[in-house]
Amino acid sequence: MPKPIQAATIDPLASFLESRRGDRWPVPLVSTAVDVDIVGGIVVVATRRVFRNDENRCIEAVLTFPVPVHATLFGLEARIGERLLVASARRRDEAREDYEAAVTAGRTAVLHEEVLRGLHMLSVGSLAPGAAIAVTARWVSTLAFVGGEAQLRIPMTAGEVYGRTPLPETDDLLTGCGPAIAELVVRSDRPVTLVGGTLVDGRARVRTDAPIDLAMSAVAPHAVAGITAEGRTIAMMVSPVARPAAGALDLAILVDRSGSMDSRENCAEEQSKHQAAVAALAQLAPRLNPPDRVDLWEFDTAVGHVGEARATEVGAATLRDQLRGLVGRLGEPRGGTEIGVALSRVIGQTAARDLLVVTDGLSHALDVQALASHGKRISVLLVGEDSLEASVGHLAALTGGDLVVASGSDMAASLDAALGGLRLPFSATEAGDDGRRLRATRRGAEIVVRETDAPLPSAAYPFARAAGALAAALRLPLLSADQAAALAESEGIVTHLTSLVLVDEAAEAVEGLPALRKVALPTARMADRSVVSAMSNAGRFGSFAGPGAGGHDRARLERLRHPTRSRKLRAFLDLDPAGPSSSSALPRPSEPAALSPAEEIRSLAARIDWSGVSDRLVRGDLSGLPAEAAKALLRLAARDSIVAPASRLGLDPLLVAIGCVAREAADSDRSAARVARFVFGGIEPGTLTQALSGLGGGPRSVPSTA
């Protein structure tokens, strides 16, 4: 016989307080430090984040953040007290499985994943009350060369992103907290300038609501010694790409005129991102030659053809005048960022060989793989402090184009660098026949790697491992998926195939499932003030009260706690494209009698804040739920379609009801997946499927730990 339903698990006062409390938990990320080492055109960035649990319950801190598209993350370590734990690379699913198993067992674990190219996620699980952990992640890349200058941008946050994210809410980029101060240390073999700030003995304190931009003169390159995970020594040379004057432009330029382009380019300039881009395009005219052809387009929610500039018998003067006239016809910013639709139309209608997109990249509205399949080379000029490399940078990398980040105030120089790359013939990563040599170009840099027989000085090892990881990352596109995963795993690097994971096996385990705490990045200081104002005054969609000192901006965090309300708000602000939301059609709590068991399960799955109540739910405690959701769960548990399988499985019907609802939400919510595993994890999949077959809605498996 099944255990009786425990109606006493509802505490009306606790349910009321829970529904009113908001997310006023202490922010677990308490400090950030960034160390930068630059040698011979190669840069290694180590970011140290300290997480501390100031709550009286076990938590999991999750942070999603941007990284440069061409960065290779190759190291992860955690310091807990006096102990130092070092992560190892595993296949993506295996790493997630190790992490989830550790968290379920109450052990502290850290997982670093690539959720999108240029967007990473750090998860710190089962952090006990009062515990602290310092997590250091290291990535390596090359400097970018623009004109006679070498540049590096370290993104710290991003603006509000248009479109429907491809990621679950718990994995998505979240912004909205206030700025913090990060400690910056720069070590270099040449003088370095901190754009917009001052380095004193290589040190500075920087705000986390803006990128860290570094610049230095482009000096003569020299070879840097490296070593692979297998112990082979290499020499890596990074130098500016030679740009011959020859080579005509056959180019379509697509200019982003969406609403986000109306925010300021950077703190030092009064002009908007769009104004800076238009001014740079106007300065392009004198650089055109009679063989060049430029087709100009612009887009926001819609896309429009501005016109074409091409040489006539009169020659260069007419070509340049044509372009000046076209630039003067570009419209003012407005609307959304439908970049995918715009690129598809331009690709389909222009005769140009190459495309250059001028944008801030703040859009999910593009299918990178589909656009890359058309065969056009697409380069990107990324504009603004709050820009995002992730999707557009990935598109450029896949198509053989380049990504030029316009840092500082010289937008014209950045545009010139982008056009210089498009005057060159297409150049893919090349490997020598003997496998001992590799050549690639990116961001105005030529990278040449060759194996050597020279011994590696012991003092060079830390930086040499970074160079070895970078060389491995350059080789990945030349390999099959299995070969690439094996190489990434052996070299200890994070890719879409591999992740880094560590588990603290020595410490005492804590009881219960952790409450998920999604850590928000700071609101970008150049964010569109009208959007921020609209979000802070959007009371018509519910309560957006501030969290108090040290808390998150509720307007952004509503996305996690109230996804339905969030979609309405984002549609109102034109951050999401128009379209029906499945959540908006959820049945009202007062209509449960009309629902089938499968419909009631789906309705409940979308109404529960799994991250805050998972530990209570696995104990059959409903006091953390709003009263209507708790009553609906009890009604569900009393149905014959739940009582009968609960009897066969030997489980409490209430626990089976909770498990079924959690299983429904598991694909998009990691806390729900943990609840489902806790309830059903010990049951053979076939037995579970047969037992729950009467619920309808099709078979669903218990989520694995992957």
Both 404 and 262 in a single domain? yes
Residue 27 has, within 13 A of its CA and on its CB side, a CA count of 24
Same domain flag for 38 and 149? yes
Q: Above 50 in pLDDT, residue 90?
A: yes
| Long-range contacts at 449-456 (CB < 8 A, ≥ 24 apart) | 449/226, 449/234, 449/235, 449/236, 449/237, 449/474, 450/234, 450/235, 451/232, 451/233, 451/234, 452/233, 452/234, 452/235, 453/233, 454/225, 454/233, 454/235, 455/233, 456/225, 456/227, 456/233
Do 297 and 373 sit in the same domain of this protein?
Answer: yes
Q: Mean pLDDT over residues 10-27, rounded? A: 56
Supply the pLDDT for residue 509.
92
Report the CATH number at residue 51: 2.60.40
Nearest to 18, CA basis, from 670, 702, 628? 628
Reported confidence tier of residue 287, pLDDT bands at 50, 70, 90 = confident
Judge whether 491 lies within some domain: no
pLDDT of 674 higher than 80:
yes
2, part of any domain: no
Structure tokens at 561: 């706690």
Is residue 54 within 8 Å of residue 26, measured between CB atoms?
yes
Average per-residue pLDDT for the chain: 84
602: CB partners within 8 A, 6+ apart: 664, 697
With 0-12 CB in 10 A as exposed, 13-18 as middle and 19+ as buried, what is 516?
buried
Its sign, for the CA torsion 308, 311, 316, 321, is: negative
pTM for this model (two decimals): 0.86
Residue 177 lies in a domain: yes
Own/partner pairs, 687-690, CB within 8 angstroms, 24+ separation: 687/649, 688/649
CB neighbours of residue 481 within 10 Å: 10
The answer to whether residue 115 sits within a structural domain is: yes
Bridge partner list, 284: none
The last residue of one of the domains, among 399, 423, 447, is 423
* CA quadruple 461, 467, 471, 473: dihedral sign: positive
pLDDT (tens digit per residue) in 327-337: 999 999 999 99
> How many beta carbons lie within 10 A of that of residue 159, not counting itself?
23
Instruction: Based on the fold, state whether residues 84 and 201 are members of the same structural domain.
Output: yes
Interval 435-481: pLDDT, tens: 689 999 898 899 999 999 888 777 677 899 999 999 999 999 999 99
Among 368, 352, 338, smallest CA distance to 307 is for 352
User: Any idea what the CATH number is for the domain that residue 298 is in?
Assistant: 3.40.50.410
- Domain range for 431: 224-241+427-481
Domain presence at residue 706: no
The pLDDT value recorded for residue 701 is 57
pLDDT digits (tens, 9 = 90+) for 605-653: 988 989 889 989 999 999 989 999 999 999 999 999 999 999 999 999 9
455-to-225, 275, 460, 461 alpha-carbon distances in Å: 9, 53, 11, 11
CA–CA separation, 310 and 308 (whole Å):
6
Residues 165 and 279 occupy one common structural domain: no
- Looking at residue 357, the DSSP 8-state letter turns out to be E
Mark whether 53 and 152 lie in a shared domain.
yes
DSSP 458: G
Give 170-198 pLDDT, tens digit per residue.
Answer: 899 999 998 999 999 999 989 999 999 99
- The answer to whether the CB of 424 falls within 8 A of the CB of 157 is no
How long is the chain?
706
Most confident among 1-10, 272-281, 536-545, 586-595 (mean pLDDT): 272-281
- Cβ atoms 186, 197 nearer than 8 A: no
Q: Residue 573 falls within a domain, yes or no?
A: no
196 and 229: one domain? no
Distance between CA atoms of residues 469 and 134, nearest Å: 23
Instruction: Indicate whether 530 belongs to any domain.
Output: no
Same-domain check for residues 184 and 153: yes
134 and 48, same domain (yes or no):
yes
What's the CA gap between 399 and 156, in Å, rounded? Answer: 26
189 located within any domain: yes
3-state SS, residue 30: strand
Structural domain count of the chain: 4
User: Is the same domain home to 197 and 112?
Assistant: yes
What is the band of 317 on the pLDDT scale with cuts at 50, 70, 90?
A: low
| Cβ atoms of residues 553 and 523 within 8 Å | yes
8 Å CB contact between 128 and 58: yes
Rg, Å, the chain Cα set: 27
- Here the tokens at position 349 are 């209608």
Edge-to-edge strand order for the sheet containing 354-359? 303-310, 293-299, 250-256, 354-359, 377-383, 403-406
pLDDT score for 536: 40
Place of tokens 């850590």: 519
Q: What is the pLDDT of residue 284?
A: 84
Q: How far, in Å, are 40, 141, 142, 242, 400 from residue 445 at the CA level?
A: 12, 11, 8, 9, 14
Same domain, 206 and 318: no
Reading phi first (left if > 0) and then psi (alpha if -120 to 50, else beta), residue 135 is in beta
Quick one: 187 and 229 in the same domain? no
